[in-house]
Amino acid sequence: MNNIKGVCTQPDSETQKYIFNHTMLRIKDPAVSLDFYTRVLGMRLIRKVDFAEWKFSLYFLAYVPDGTIVPTENGENARYTNNRESVLELTHNWGTETEEKTPYHNGNTEPRGFGHICVSVPNIQEACARFEKLQVPFQKRLGEGGMKNIAFIKDPDNYWVEIVQPGLL
């Protein structure tokens, strides 16, 4: 077992098959958020579930290789979605889309909490140029601040999305 100051860094055999499946963000307007995560960031909507009784919907997005067929039958689709790594769940509480501003805290204004999600891109300069062209708001542009090789863009609800390129420090 590897330890870093008493913290186990190697999982027990009982947890070997656990996977980190998803992170959930609350969103104000699903049309606007789905456009951002699909068109701007290239994710694919792989599952949608409505809960009419409680007036909310869940949208699950992921990076899916070209040619991959996502099951559409509910049980198979749930199994496919819940057996993946790195899924983004967007939760929409019905009616928030009519509010003037987002009712959610992005975690980076006071008080601080949640920070950001991160997307790795093959060429960060090209990705940032594309975000500029699409008029995506930046929190931190490439080359700014102490960490010059990363950027942060903001989604429609002001959540931060870190943009990194493998191999750059």
Query: What would the pLDDT profile of 79-95 be if each residue is shown by its tens digit?
Result: 999 999 999 999 999 99
Alpha helix stretches (DSSP H) within the chain: 30-35, 74-82, 124-133
Residue 162: active-site member = yes
- The pTM is what? 0.91
Q: Identify the pLDDT of residue 4.
A: 66
Show the low-confidence residues of the chain (pLDDT under 70): 1-4, 6, 8-9, 11
Catalytic member of 76, 99, 144, 162: 162
DSSP code at position 150: -
Q: Identify the pLDDT of residue 73.
A: 97
Angstrom distance (rounded) from CA 64 to CA 145 = 33
Q: Identify the pLDDT of residue 12.
A: 78
Q: Identify the pLDDT of residue 6.
A: 67
Superfamily (CATH) of domain 107-169? 2,3-Dihydroxybiphenyl 1,2-Dioxygenase, domain 1 (3.10.180.10)
Residues of the chain with CATH 3.10.180.10: 19-97, 107-169
The side-by-side arrangement of strands in the sheet containing 138-140 is 116-120, 160-164, 151-154, 138-140
Q: What is the CATH number of domain 19-97?
A: 3.10.180.10
